[in-house]
Amino acid sequence: MLLYNGRLLPETGFALPLPNRGLFFNDGFFETLVWADRGLRYRELHAARMQRAAAALSLDLPPALASAANLERTLTALITADGSPTRLRLQLWRSGTGLYTPETSATEWLATARPFTPHHAPIATAGFAETVRVQASPVSFCKGPQALTYVLAAQERQRRGLDEVLLLSGAGHIAEAVAAAVFWVRGGELFTPNLATGCVAGVRRAHLLAAARRHGLTVHEVLAEPAELLAAEVVFTANVAGIRTVREIAGTHFDEQHPLLEQLRQWETQE
pLDDT per residue as tens digits for the range 97-127: 999 999 999 999 999 999 999 999 999 999 9
Q: How many CB atoms lie within 10 A of CB 2?
A: 16
pLDDT per residue as tens digits for the range 41-52: 999 999 999 999
Alpha carbon distance 189, 234 (integer Å): 11
- Confidence class of residue 271 from pLDDT cuts 50, 70 and 90? low
- What is residue 187's predicted lDDT score, i.e. its pLDDT? 95
Sign of torsion over alpha carbons 210, 66, 34, 234: negative
User: How open is the CA angle 142-148-151, to the nearest 5 degrees?
Assistant: 105
pLDDT > 70: percent of the chain: 100
Q: Is 141 exposed, middle or buried (0-12, 13-18, 19+ CB in 10 A)?
A: buried
- What is residue 82's predicted lDDT score, i.e. its pLDDT? 86
Q: How many CB atoms lie within 10 A of CB 111?
A: 26
Decide: 217 and 190 in contact? Cβ < 8 Å: yes
Quote the pTM value.
0.94
Q: From residue 163, how far is each of 76, 156, 176, 200, 246 by CA, in Å? A: 34, 11, 14, 20, 9
pLDDT per residue as tens digits for the range 121-168: 999 999 999 999 999 999 999 999 999 999 999 999 999 999 999 999
